[in-house]
Amino acid sequence: MYEYTQFYIDGQWVDPAQPNSQPVENPATEETIGHIAFGSAADVDRAVVAARKAFESWQFSSREERLELLRAIQAGIEKRREDLAKAVSDEMGAPMSLANGPHVGLLAGHCATAIQILENFEFERQDGPTLHVYEPVGVVGMITPWNWPLNQIACKVFPALATGNTMILKPSEIAPFDAAIFTEIMHEAGVPKGVFNLVNGDGPGVGTAMSGHPDIDMISFTGSTRAGIAIAANAAPTVKRVAQELGGKSPNIVLDDSTFAQSVAKGTVGMMGNSGQTCTAPSRMLVPHARMEEAKAAAREAAEKVIPGDPKGNATIGPVVSKAQWDKIQGLIEKGIEEGATLVAGGPGKPEGLETGHYVKPTVFADVTNDMTIAREEIFGPVLAILGYDDLDDAVRIANDTEYGLASAITGEDLELARKTARKIRAGRVAINGGYDMNAAFGGYKKSGNGREWGKFGFDEFVEVKAVMGYA
């Protein structure tokens, strides 16, 4: 059992202002695996006081001090790797291979990237007679989700720490234990008192108090567009900086070439990863109308190789995170059938033999039109929609016909054509043939958010620019 019924404030574990223990479920077994305390505005106030006090000195810490701390955290991540992976698997259902691989790997990768960038980051630049100084924003409130919990903690905490900010983290109450272990790593690494604080809880109890707090200078939020809108509205009266990474309905344009079937298969399997619970998942696959039947066959064969099951076994994917999430996905699968899409693989209900746990059949719809609900709404499960296009101009039109703009993909053998097409996509990321880079900017257009994370772009998000004129 995981028992984390205290908060980490001002360098120590402390009891909540009002004890309020809440259970946390394992989505594979539907059993309680531990408890956390739910915080309140009073707990947020305590954390803000600690962070504000720590900022007085941490903002002036040297590059070498920050590098030393990040390297100590890096060593701590490797030391606790198995504990982190087990927590992620237990709380959100990721297979152990995924938890110990990409989930913990992204945490370690962002730490290594932050060290590399901090070694050469330009905190001052003289432009003629003016000195431009890049200073920390101040106290940052961080609200992170359950689907890639360690990744989202890492791409906020490490650049904020490296640029001299102090912070309060509220992880998802659905998957909180990896954050608690991360906090133990931070403490062991010697993070100064008040620089990093952890307050568990839900949105109404802690998130609202953070986003509206007058002494929090910035909110960095990752989650649903609905919640992001509420956070931005609540933050507006205090005129704090708000950075958001929100929902997505990402297109994957498959080019008409000799690698078509292979591209469809890879796109299908890739979209199903993490049980489809990835904001950048290429959940709308666009294929030429003339090759729709070929796409159906390739996608069906690929989906049948995606095996849901026990995260501790050899399954390809685990359950989705909760009963509420399962119910939502089932409703959207039913909607796809009702609106006339062709069910190619999967469908409603649980996979055979998996009555316990929030498991979803790997599902593929084809002959989808972009006005259907499954093409418009973010499903956040292992459900792929295949749409047809006439030509590449039509494909780009369909790809951009969404309220989201987080990510997109183009797959095919003509690299120059893919490059030209990428320039026409209105999204924060375009992956050509699975291209990936830890230093690439991460963030969205339209209702997918504002601001950028990852690499140097993440550092830029957590600094203010001061112009000292007449400096020369």
Rounded distance between C-alpha atoms, residue 472 and residue 470, angstroms? 6
Calculate mean pLDDT across residues 298-306.
98
Is 155 among the catalytic positions? no
Query: Which tokens go with 221?
Result: 């939020």
Beta strands in 29-186 (DSSP E): 31-37, 124-127, 130-136, 139-143, 166-170
Considering the candidates 25, 155, 173, 279, report the single residue annotated as catalytic.
Answer: 279
Beta strands in 213-295 (DSSP E): 218-222, 241-245, 251-254, 284-288
Q: Tell me, what's the pLDDT at 65?
A: 98
Calculate mean pLDDT across residues 47-64.
98
For the chain, helix (H) and strand (E) counts, in that order, are: 16, 21
- Dihedral pair phi/psi, residue 197, rounded to 5°: -135, 150
Supply the DSSP symbol for 351: P
- Residue found by looking up tokens 């909180």 in the block: 176
Rounded distance between C-alpha atoms, residue 344 and residue 299, angstroms? 8
Q: Tell me, what's the pLDDT at 262?
A: 98
Cβ atoms of residues 448 and 225 within 8 Å: yes
Helix residue spans in 99-207 (DSSP H): 104-118, 149-162, 177-189
Q: Tell me, what's the pLDDT at 296?
A: 98
| pLDDT tens string 115-143 | 999 999 999 999 999 999 999 999 999 99
Rounded distance between C-alpha atoms, residue 414 and residue 410, angstroms? 10
Q: What residues does each domain of the chain span?
A: 2-246+448-468, 251-441
Fold adopted by 2-246+448-468? Aldehyde Dehydrogenase; Chain A, domain 1 (3.40.605)
This prediction's pTM: 0.96
Is 245 among the catalytic positions? yes
Cβ atoms of residues 50 and 13 within 8 Å: no
Fold adopted by 251-441? Aldehyde Dehydrogenase; Chain A, domain 2 (3.40.309)
**1 exposure class (CB count in 10 Å sphere: 0-12, 13-18, 19+):** exposed
Q: Longest C-alpha distance within the chain, in Å?
A: 74
**275 exposure class (CB count in 10 Å sphere: 0-12, 13-18, 19+):** buried
Rounded distance between C-alpha atoms, residue 131 and residue 134, angstroms? 10
DSSP per residue over 211-231, as a string? HT-TT--EEEEES-HHHHHHH
Query: Which tokens go with 156?
Result: 């906020």
| pLDDT tens string 354-391 | 999 999 999 999 999 999 999 999 999 999 999 999 99
β-pairing verdict for 429-432 and 407-411: parallel
Say whether 149 sits in a helix, a strand or coil: helix
Q: Tell me, what's the pLDDT at 413?
A: 97
Considering the candidates 25, 91, 173, 245, report the single residue annotated as catalytic.
Answer: 245
Mean residue pLDDT of the chain comes to 98
